[in-house]
Amino acid sequence: MASVLLAVCLAWIFTILFLNRDKSVASVPALWLPTIWISIRGSRPPSEWLNGGGAGGGTALDSTLEGNSTDAMFLSLLLACGLIVLANRRKEVGQSLRSNGPVVIYFAYCLLSVCWSPFPDAAFKRWVRALGDLVMVLVIVTDQRPFSAFTRTFSRVGVVLLSFSLFLIRYSPLGRGYDPDGHPMNTGVTTNKNTLGLVAFVIGLSAVAAFLVNIREKQPGRWRRLLSQAALVSLAIAVLVVAHSATSLACFILGSCLMLTLRLGGLRSNASAVHALIIAVALLSGAVIVLGGQSVFFSAFGRDSNLTGRTDIWSTVIPMAINPVWGSGFESFWNVANERLRQLPDGYMFGNLNSAHNGYIDVYLNLGLIGLTLVVWILFSSYRRACAAFRHDAEFGALGISYTLTIALYCITEAGFRVMGPSWICLLFCILSASKISYALAGTETVSKGTSVPTRLIGQQSSMPSARALPPNPIRPRAHLT
């Protein structure tokens, strides 16, 4: 019976992939590299699958110092292939890196912090994996159509991971596990419910964005692709429900509503209205907390007012910061503090923590105030550039703004800036792609003034699935928009 159900699941996956094909967009084999990379991060390491899937309770902290040779070999092979692809696109890569100072400085500082980590070997290996995130994002961004490349990649990842998650949760013990308190949880292809919720959240938003694009673009096969994207959105919602990840569910709802609102005609040409909308969302979120509505809000999403023990974690680990200015070293704090946490009176609660369930606190503990400042800089740059791109590419701009805002909110209660994390990868894509659009617009402005620039920067920079180029005489770029 199980084999029959597995065959049905596989048939469903291939059907969705078949419906989502787009003959107007050339197939790019290099996109399989980020597809595999994100699939690994969105599920379990290869070594766990080879050993039968493992338990859905996570990996002991002490074992993360040594790592796994199988996983290291597999990821190194993907990273090497990614670097080869980027070597053939070195001009585009160089432009992307030169126009993204916050990202380059952040990665450079992370590498520098390896020097004062108590575990420099492990910290350096983790930095190499973090570099892999940047490499895979650059493979997507340097594609001729980055928006299409991104949605295609996440569609492939989503239909496989989300479909198999529902299958495992329903029909296999591999899809279920227990949290540290012994409560049952649905994990699907991941190792815990929060990761499963995060995967559904980011994939669901990309599917909503692709659905909105296909509604507007009247191309052959549009209804077929609309059906596949609707199925993917439905999969994401189903997984969010069974995962019981309140943060991911709230962020998906907020991001989807924000994208739909931004697609209203009047907002595209009104930067002030876009900023006002974002500020209103932020103030509303703050009012829920300050004015005492948090109990009703959190209860609606299955949380108590102390965020399911997160505030206890925060008050415990913040005073344990090794150095408030530059931190304990890249991804090193939890290995350093592990023994101290176990010796606390409530050590059974903190003995195997590997995150503070807050992205900003995690960055502070590992990289200090310097690292936290760089992450906030990246968030502001991503938002500012997404707003600038929104005037000229509403589909990408709406997705970039939605991702940036929801990831910023997600990281309040979850560790969203982790190495190889889907939310971190999406944030890198947003800022690098928005910079690419701004650069293309600057190039077209130069052409309108009579100065020669390479024409490939004009016709190939559209992030839309269609073949349209940027307008010959665009409005002055709003890359300075704040």
Longest Cα–Cα distance in the chain: 72
**Would you tell me the crossing angle of helices 222-243 and 246-262 to the nearest 10 degrees?**
150
Q: Is the Cβ–Cβ distance between 252 and 203 less than 8 Å? A: no
- CA 474 centroid distance within chain: 31
Specify the pLDDT at position 360. Answer: 92
Structure tokens at 293: 């509505």
Measured CA to CA, the distance from residue 324 to residue 180 in angstroms comes to 29
Specify the pLDDT at position 461. Answer: 37
Measured CA to CA, the distance from residue 157 to residue 32 in angstroms comes to 10
Specify the pLDDT at position 57. Answer: 41
Specify the pLDDT at position 296. Answer: 45
Structure tokens at 214: 């296909």
Vertex 40 angle, CA 34 and 43, to 5°: 135
Taking the CB of residue 75, how many other CB atoms lie within 10 A of it?
23
Mean pLDDT of the chain: 79
Measured CA to CA, the distance from residue 161 to residue 433 in angstroms comes to 25
pLDDT tens digits for 424-455? Answer: 898 899 888 887 776 665 554 443 444 433 33
Residue position matching structure tokens 């029959």: 4
245-281: buried (b, 16+ CB within 10 Å) or exposed (e) per residue? Answer: bbbbbbbbbbbbebbeebbeeebbeebeebeebbeeb
- Who contacts 7 (Cβ-Cβ below 8 Å, separation ≥6)? none
Specify the pLDDT at position 28. Answer: 80
Specify the pLDDT at position 299. Answer: 52
Q: CA torsion sign, 94 to 96 to 99 to 104?
A: negative
Q: How many helices (H) and strands (E) does the chain have?
A: 20, 2
Structure tokens at 259: 């994208």
Specify the pLDDT at position 201. Answer: 94
Specify the pLDDT at position 220. Answer: 72
Measured CA to CA, the distance from residue 235 to residue 383 in angstroms comes to 28
Domain ranges of the chain: 2-459
Specify the pLDDT at position 250. Answer: 86
Residue/partner pairs of 376-384 with CB below 8 Å, 24 or more apart: 377/102, 377/106, 378/102, 378/103, 378/106, 378/427, 378/431, 379/404, 379/407, 379/408, 379/427, 381/100, 381/102, 381/431, 382/427, 382/430, 382/431, 382/434, 383/278, 384/481, 384/482
Low-confidence stretches of the chain (pLDDT < 70) are: 1, 23-26, 52-67, 180-181, 265-271, 282, 285-309, 345-352, 419-420, 438-482
